[in-house]
Structure 1
Amino acid sequence: MSITTSVKRYAQAVFEIALESNKLKEWQSNLGKIAQLVQDAEFTALVENPKLPFEPKAKLVQERLGKINPMALNLIYLLMTKGKLKNARQLADEYERLLNDHYGIKSAEVTTAIAIDDTERERLSHHIETIIGNKISIKTQIDPDILGGFIARIDDSLIDGSIRNKLEMLKKSLAETRK
């Protein structure tokens, strides 16, 4: 799903506030809490219901979030009143992207055939960092069709170390030698 212009603006504004106040990691944590909270569709529908008064909804949000930066709480109230609370995950993702850019970290979408544990993830991350010469932040997904290995998408680059790709290359090579 593509990130809307309004989400990008919100994320940019939050990032600038976090940068000015030197609270980049705190905001990252707060946005993560908010994004996790709105995964509950019933909760989101309840707090975005225009027929319910704001005060009880605000109290419910405070109770569910616990200790959170007051400005982050104001952000969630703004998102509630604008009907944009459902975009909280995108906002958190865009903030994460801005944070990574700030620290010079590239974002990599890595596909593997099976789920990988933290040790394998760290090893794979280090391997890709060696290849591209940059620190990376990995988001993983699983696709059994690649058979093994990994496929990494970093910006406009693709690193295909999948078994499926190797088999396809071998198939082409064998077909060419037959000619």
Structure 2
Amino acid sequence: MARVAAKRHAQAAFQIALERDELEIWRGDLERLSALVGDPLLFAFLESPRINFEEKGRILRQGLEGVNPLVMNLALLVVARGRLDLVADMVLEYGQLVDEQRGIAHAEVATAVPIELEDKDKLIRYLSDLVGLKIVLTERVDPSIIGGLVARVGDKIIDGSTRSRLLALRESLLK
């Protein structure tokens, strides 16, 4: 349920920012909000029922000085409703909407060893052709896959790992 609410807030923020041609301004301001409420002490302060809203608002305005006034209103709304737990997911979702608007997809690739630069470029081109979007690649080394790679782009997973091939071979031999 919280993920749905975060997505709804992100979509509303995205629409406003898009209409005002302020997508990157909002992204930076929302990331500032996320970093601010990521502080455990400040989070506890802003969520505390013992502290009145005016005091919370004062602290929030101090921490977010200079942000877009509409982003500030969103931050105050989230605090007033006691939904600071939505902020991280909301900011993540907002970033995905902006990237989607700009034709960018994020790919996470796991390999047994670090990828060589030339192979990385080929992989980016391949994944870009596959999804029809520009790819921003995040690499992760995972020795348990033995060889090959496992790539995730959005909801697509490409498992070309030696480990998965060995498991498939094992299954077929056991039948």
Bin for the TM-score computed over the shorter chain: 0.7 to 0.9
**Match status 1:162 vs 2:161:** yes
Residues 142/3 of structure 1: CA separation in 2 closer, same or farther (3 Å cut): farther
Contact 1:30 1:68 in 2 (8 A): yes
Residue 82 of structure 1 deviates from its aligned partner by 0.8
Query: What are the residue-to-residue correspondences of 1:23-102 with 2, within 5 Å?
Result: 23-102=22-101
Q: Distance in 2 between matches of 1:114 and 1:88?
A: 35
Which residue identity is paired with 1:84? R
Deviation per residue, 1:76-98 (Å, 9 max, x gap): 11111111112111001111222
Q: State the secondary structure of the residue aligned to 1:92.
A: helix
Q: State the secondary structure of the residue aligned to 1:60.
A: helix
Q: State the secondary structure of the residue aligned to 1:51.
A: coil
Using the size of structure 1 for normalisation, the TM-score is 0.76
Q: Distance in 1 between matches of 2:158 and 2:39?
A: 35
Contact 1:48 1:81 in 2 (8 A): no
In structure 1, the residue matched to 2:105 is 106
Contact 1:152 1:160 in 2 (8 A): yes
Q: State the secondary structure of the residue aligned to 1:58.
A: helix
Residue 145 of structure 1 deviates from its aligned partner by 2.0
Q: How many residues align?
A: 173
Using the size of structure 2 for normalisation, the TM-score is 0.78
Contact 2:5 2:86 in 1 (8 A): no
Residue 48 of structure 1 deviates from its aligned partner by 1.5
Q: Which runs of 5+ in 2 are unaligned?
A: none
Q: State the secondary structure of the residue aligned to 1:57.
A: helix
Contact 1:150 1:160 in 2 (8 A): yes
Q: Distance in 1 between matches of 2:119 and 2:75?
A: 33
Q: Distance in 2 between matches of 1:121 and 1:29?
A: 32
